[in-house]
Structure 1
Amino acid sequence: MKILIIEDDPGIVELVSLTFELGWPDVKLIVADTGEKGMNILESDRPDAVILDIGLPDTTGFEIIKAIRLFSDVPILMLTVRIDERDVVKALTLGADDYLTKPFRQMELLARIKAITRRTQHGDQDLKVSNGPWHFGKTLTELYRGQQIFHLTPIQGLIMQSLIKQAGQFVSAETLAAKIWGEHHAATADDLRVHIHHLRKKFDENRSGSGFISNKPGLGYMLVGE
């Protein structure tokens, strides 16, 4: 597997390199310190995933996400020092799959990369799961409500897979986080909430109405009926 990191901070690049050397040595890491170099490498080397810094010397990560999504659906994990949820939702809306805030834990980085590349694997692709009008297409990133299709990120697909399986019941935030990022994740409730918010926004933008995903403090999230 090849992973491209577009990051101009040598310290972050060194940390990411060490993380993969220790935790996922089969990965080949390709480095670009500008957006332009990153785009050139993306087109020539076709990596399996991209780790993208939001603040770059020649452009912004937002512009890079938009450019990548014009021709590729490669999984994108954005790195950001920003904690403004609006920036995160903007990146997810443009096509990023997940985000990680600097400074980050090394094992958390690996967990998130593995989560967003899971769509190229088959271990979690239980596509037969359905409930009422909800069902998946060829992958977990194709969700149908009746005849209407929603194109999801891998993480959104894993969330909806769990909620559809247990429709009408609350699924705890901890259970969802473990499903997405693994048992030893360090994700917070806010991380999950951002992805749920983006799912709700996606459903509403497609004019399907809102209120499909209910939440209750202490209980978690639930897919509700019509």
Structure 2
Amino acid sequence: MVKPLVVDDDPHILEAESIGLELQWPEATVLRARTGEECLAVFRKQRPDVVLLDVSLPGMTGFEVLREIRRESSVPVIMITARDEDYAQTLGRALGASAYLVKPVSPRFLVQQVTVTLNGGAYGTSGP
């Protein structure tokens, strides 16, 4: 059973991304957080299989959260953000993001990216 952690300060985006994952994997336990600090607390307690992380969060930025996660784990982290500058994308990947997606992201593409990421980059498999 897949256990993703979705992190976004916008409640509408948080809900939309969560619903997309739940529709794909009805048995999934979709974890949610709205701040970087909350993300780290949930991450440490629940140990998700993948983290979908916004960059622009109140308090800690997504980049700071990613840096903390990388100190503890190699879990896949997919950055999902409106920040489309080359610098932000390069920084996200340099800090260890598995993928960097620019909003808006369709639910179908998001699920596909999570599936590919969980399969270690192997495309065409059914996922967890």
User: Taking structure 2 as the reference length, what is the TM-score of the superposition?
Assistant: 0.90
Which portions of structure 1, spanning 4 or more consecutive aligned residues, are displaced by more than 4 angstroms?
none
Q: From the two aligned structures, give the one with the greater strand fraction.
A: 1
Aligned residue for 1:69, secondary structure, equals: helix
Aligned to 1:8: 9
User: Alignment length, in residue pairs?
Assistant: 124
Distance 2:22 2:39 in 1: 21
Aligned to 2:32: 31
**Are 2:6 and 2:30, in contact at CA under 8 Å, matched by a contact in 1?**
yes
Unmatched segments (≥5 aa) in structure 1:
120-154, 159-178, 183-226
> What's the Cα RMSD here?
1.5
Deviation at 1:5, TM superposition (A): 1.1
| Mapped pair 1:52 → 2:53 | yes
Distance 1:46 1:65 in 2: 14
Identity percentage over the alignment?
37
User: Taking structure 1 as the reference length, what is the TM-score of the superposition?
Assistant: 0.52
Distance 1:81 1:97 in 2: 17
Distance 1:36 1:96 in 2: 18
The superposition leaves residues 50-74 of structure 1 with CA deviations (integer Å, 9 ceiling, x where unpaired) of 0100000111111111110001001
Mapping 1:57-72, distance limit 5 Å: 57-72=58-73
Aligned residue for 1:73, secondary structure, equals: coil
Aligned residue for 2:14, secondary structure, equals: helix
Deviation at 1:21, TM superposition (A): 2.6
Unmatched segments (≥5 aa) in structure 2:
none
